[in-house]
Structure 1
C-alpha cells in the first residue's frame, strides 16, 4: 500500500488539513498548521511530499525519521507542524487499513473516556460568569480562561488584583467539584510570577499555563519552587529534546500539540518521557477536528494523561466551527465532562470532504494580533 497523492486544504477559521490517498484507495487525514502561518506550513507540507509520494504508507516510523531528519536543518514550528499533519494522516491510514482505532495500534485503551475542557472568554465579571455557566450547561466540568491582558514587566496592584479577581470569580461559579486553569500565554515575567502565583493558591486552579515564554524555560525551576499550583507548559515546544529541561525543572503538566510537535508519533514519546518525571499529559488543542481526533487517540492510550483541550464553541472562531467539517458529530459529544472512547477506524472521525473542498476555495489569512503597551512598545499576545 503506497501513497499516491497528497493534497492540502486551507479551511476557516485558521486551519490547514492534509489528505493522503493510497494506491488501494484508503485515505488518511491530518492537520498540519501553525496558527497565523498556515500558508507557510502548506508550502512545507508540499515540499515534504517528495519524501512521501510513492512510499509504503505502513512504514510510519521510517517516514517520520526521513521527514524530520532528511534535511541538514531540522526542527522548529513550521517543519514540525508539517510533519505532524502527515504523521496523523499515516496513522489514520494504518488504522483504517486494519479496521481499528489508532489507540489500539498504540497499545490499546487505558480508559473509556477522556476528560476535556473548553475555553471561556469575557473581560467583564458578568460576561465571564455567563460564559462559564454556558460551558457548564454544555456539559463541561472544566474550563480555561486567559489570566490577563497585556502585562508590564512589574504588574501594577490593579493588574494583579484583576488576575486574582478573575480566578476567584471562576472558582465561585464552578464550585468545588469542577476545575479551571489560567493561561498566561507567556505574558508574565519571573518577577510577576513570584508576586501573583502565591495569591492565586486560594482559588486552587487545576494548573497555570505558560507563565513565561518558552525560550525562558531556564526560569521555570524558580517558578515551580515559588508556588504550590501545578505549572503547565509546552504548546510552543516541538520535541522530546525541548521538553527534557522543562521536565527537569519540575513542571507538573506537559502540553505538546499533536499538530505542532511531530504528530502522534512524537507526542506519544513526549508523554512517555513525562511519565518518567511523574508529570501529566494535557495536549494543547485549540484547533480543528483532526487535531482533536489525533490528540484523543493518544489520550486513550496514555497512562499519565490528565485532560484534553478542545475548541468546540470557542469564542474567537467566528467564521467556522470545528463540527462544520465532521460528518458524525456524535464522536465529539460531551458526557459528564468527557468524550467517550471512539470505536471508528483510524483517527475515529469522518471528515466532510465536500465541506472541506468548498472551504478551501475561500481559504483564509488568519494572523495573530499585534499588541502594544501604552508607551507603544511590543506586548506579548
Structure 2
C-alpha cells in the first residue's frame, strides 16, 4: 500500500480536516489545526507530504520520527499540529486496513467506557448556573468553566471574591456528587493564582487548568505546593520534552491535545511519561469530531486516563455542534456522562464527505479575540 495524495478542508466553525488517500482505496482522516492559524498549518501539512507521497502508510512510527526530526527546525505549535493530523490519519488507515479500532492496535482497551465533561456557557453567574443545570440535565457528571474574563495581574479584592462566588454558585447548582473544573486559561499571573486558589479549596474543584501561561511553567512547582487543588496543564505543550519539566513540577493532570502534540503516537508516549509521575491524563479537545474520535481511542488504551473534554456544545461559535460532518453520530452517544467503547475500525467514525466538501466551499477565517485592559495594554485571552 502506498500514499497517493491528500486533501485539506477548512470547515466551520474553526476546524481543518485532512484526508489521506492510498492506492488500495483506503482513506484516513485527521484534524491538523492551530485554532486561528488554519491556513498556516495547512501549508505545513503540504510541505510534509513532499516526503509522504509514495510511502507505505503502515510505517507510522518511522514516518513520525522522520517528519518530527528530519528537519533542522523542530517542534512548536504549527509543525507539531501538522504532524498530529497526519499521524491521526495514518492510524485511521492502519486500523481500517486491519479491521481494528486504533485502541486495539495500542494494546487493547483498559476500560469499557470513557467519562466526558461539558463546558459551561455564559458571561454571568446566572448564565453559568443555568448552563450547569442544563448539562446535568442531559446526564453529564462533570463540567468546566472559565471563572472570569479579563483579569489583571493583581486584581482587586472585589474581583477575587467575585471569582470565588461564581465558582461557589456552580458548585451549589451541581451538588457534591458531581465535579466541576476551572480553566484559568493562562489569564492569571502566578501571584494572582496563589491568591485565588486557597479561597477555592473548600469548593473541591476537580482541577484548576492552566493557572499560568506555558512560558511561566517554571512557577508551577510553587503553585502546586501552595494548594490542595489538583493542577492541570498541557494544551499548549507539544511534545514529551515540553511535558518533562511540567510532569516533575507536581501537577496532577496532564492535558496533551491530540491535534497539537504530535497526534496519537506522541500523546501515547506523553501519557506513559505521566504515569511514571503519578499524573493523570485528560486530553484537551475543544475541536471537531475527528480530533475527538482520536482522543477517545487514546483514552481507551491508557491506564492513567481521568476524563475527556468534548466540544459538542463548547460554545466558542454558534455552530459548534457540528456532528453533521459524520455519517452516523451515534458513536458519540453518551449515557450517564460516559461514552461506550467504539468498535469501528480506525478512528471508529465515518466522515460524511459530501457535508465536509459543502462546508469547505465557504472556508472559515476564525481568529481568537484580542483583549485589552482598561489602560490599553494587551490582556491574555
Range into which the TM-score falls when normalised by the shorter chain: over 0.9
Instruction: Tell me, yes or no, if the aligned pair for 1:312 and 1:322 is still in contact at 8 Å.
Output: yes
Q: Does 1:237 align with 2:229?
A: no
User: For residues 152 and 126 of structure 2, what CA distance do their matches in structure 1 show?
Assistant: 26
Partner of 2:96: 96
Q: Does 1:178 align with 2:181?
A: no
Partner of 2:308: 308
User: For residues 90 and 153 of structure 1, what CA distance do their matches in structure 2 show?
Assistant: 44
- Misfit runs of 4+, over 4 Å: none
Shift of 1:339: 0.7
Shift of 1:150: 1.1
User: For residues 366 and 380 of structure 1, what CA distance do their matches in structure 2 show?
Assistant: 18
Partner of 1:332: 332
Match of 2:376, SS state, is coil
Instruction: Tell me, yes or no, if the aligned pair for 1:121 and 1:146 is still in contact at 8 Å.
Output: no
* CA deviation vs aligned residue, 1:264-306 (integer Å, no higher than 9, x gap): 0000000000000000000000000000000000000000000
User: For residues 11 and 74 of structure 1, what CA distance do their matches in structure 2 show?
Assistant: 27
Match of 1:362, SS state, is coil
User: For residues 297 and 320 of structure 1, what CA distance do their matches in structure 2 show?
Assistant: 22
* 1:181-330 pair list within 5 angstroms: 181-330=181-330
Report the count of equivalent residues. Answer: 381
User: For residues 302 and 322 of structure 1, what CA distance do their matches in structure 2 show?
Assistant: 27
* CA deviation vs aligned residue, 1:108-134 (integer Å, no higher than 9, x gap): 000000000111121222211111111
Instruction: Tell me, yes or no, if the aligned pair for 2:314 and 2:320 is still in contact at 8 Å.
Output: no
Shift of 1:321: 2.4
Q: Does 1:13 align with 2:27?
A: no
Partner of 1:346: 346
Shift of 1:320: 4.8
> For structure 1, which runs of at least 5 residues remain unmatched after alignment?
none
Partner of 1:3: 3
Partner of 1:108: 108
* CA deviation vs aligned residue, 1:205-250 (integer Å, no higher than 9, x gap): 0000000000101000000000000000000000000100001111
User: For residues 319 and 117 of structure 2, what CA distance do their matches in structure 1 show?
Assistant: 22
Partner of 2:127: 127
Partner of 2:365: 365
User: For residues 198 and 329 of structure 2, what CA distance do their matches in structure 1 show?
Assistant: 41
* CA deviation vs aligned residue, 1:301-329 (integer Å, no higher than 9, x gap): 00000000000022222135231211111
* CA deviation vs aligned residue, 1:4-53 (integer Å, no higher than 9, x gap): 11110000000000000110000100000000000100011011111111
Match of 1:311, SS state, is coil
Deviates more, 1:73-82 or 1:165-174: 165-174
Match of 2:153, SS state, is coil
Instruction: Tell me, yes or no, if the aligned pair for 1:311 and 1:322 is still in contact at 8 Å.
Output: no
User: For residues 312 and 152 of structure 1, what CA distance do their matches in structure 2 show?
Assistant: 31
Instruction: Tell me, yes or no, if the aligned pair for 1:328 and 1:350 is still in contact at 8 Å.
Output: yes
User: For residues 25 and 239 of structure 1, what CA distance do their matches in structure 2 show?
Assistant: 32
Partner of 1:154: 154
Q: Does 1:57 align with 2:57?
A: yes
TM-score by length of 1: 0.99
